[in-house]
């Protein structure tokens, strides 16, 4: 479907830049569906590009999807990042790009925002194999940054479940401090 419809979307995007403000903002279901399909096939780069444009153009979400663009983007990228992290793969640049918008631009439920803060904090503690291991992190600044992100998650949502990891971070920081005293 995308090879057939993406050229139409590209033409729409070209024409909207030359149109007046009134002409630029109108519903374009082909644009919305193609954006969703890009996420479906795993083309997050182009999907995000079009999704951010959809927000800018106030495009409604495709068809029967009952969410708004920010929630759809956040959930889709979060799910992708979880899979990548579990396998020891990088979550960037997509997670970081969406994380910035989740924490500064978009008004999402606190539970969703907390989930992003928690994941960002845990990402700083992941080993190459994808396991979360604060005891293997030797950089005190990285540990402190992770703890700050986890603290923010806990402050946003009381069921963020970060207490155990934060305790492990505190233990690791104490161990690093003791090691520097020797």
Any idea where the domains of the chain sit in the sequence?
1-66, 94-182
pLDDT at 20: 55
**pLDDT bucket at 16, cuts 50 / 70 / 90:** confident
pLDDT tens string 56-86: 999 999 988 899 999 999 999 999 999 999 8
**pLDDT bucket at 182, cuts 50 / 70 / 90:** confident
Identify the DSSP state of 59: P
pLDDT at 18: 62
Which has more confidence, 141 or 86?
A: 141
Give the pLDDT mean for 116-139. Answer: 94
Helix H, strand E, coil C: the string for 92-115 is CCHHHHHHHHHHHCCCCCHHHHHH
Q: What is the pTM of this model?
A: 0.90
Mean pLDDT check: name the lowest of 5-19, 78-92, 112-126. Answer: 5-19
pLDDT at 15: 83
DSSP codes of every residue in 127-160: -TTS-B-GGG---HHHHHHHHHHHHHHHHH-TT-
Mean pLDDT check: name the lowest of 11-25, 50-64, 94-108. Answer: 11-25
pLDDT at 24: 54
């Amino acid at each position: 479907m995308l090879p057939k419809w993406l050229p139409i979307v590209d033409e729409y995007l070209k024409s909207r830049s030359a149109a007046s403000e009134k002409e630029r903002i109108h519903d374009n279901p082909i644009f919305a569906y193609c954006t969703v399909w890009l996420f479906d096939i795993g083309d997050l780069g182009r999907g995000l590009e079009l999704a951010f444009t959809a927000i800018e153009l106030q495009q409604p979400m495709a068809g029967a999807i009952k969410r708004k663009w920010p929630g759809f983007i956040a959930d889709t990228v979060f799910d992708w990042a979880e899979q990548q992290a579990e396998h020891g793969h990088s979550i960037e640049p997509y997670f970081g790009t969406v994380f910035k918008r989740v924490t500064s631009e978009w008004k999402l439920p606190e539970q969703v925002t907390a989930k992003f803060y928690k994941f960002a904090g845990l990402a700083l503690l992941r080993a190459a194999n994808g396991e979360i291991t604060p005891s293997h992190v030797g950089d005190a600044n990285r540990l402190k940054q992770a703890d700050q992100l986890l603290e923010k998650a806990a402050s946003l949502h009381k069921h963020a479940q970060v207490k155990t990891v934060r305790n492990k971070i505190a233990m690791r920081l104490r161990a690093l401090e003791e090691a520097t005293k020797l």
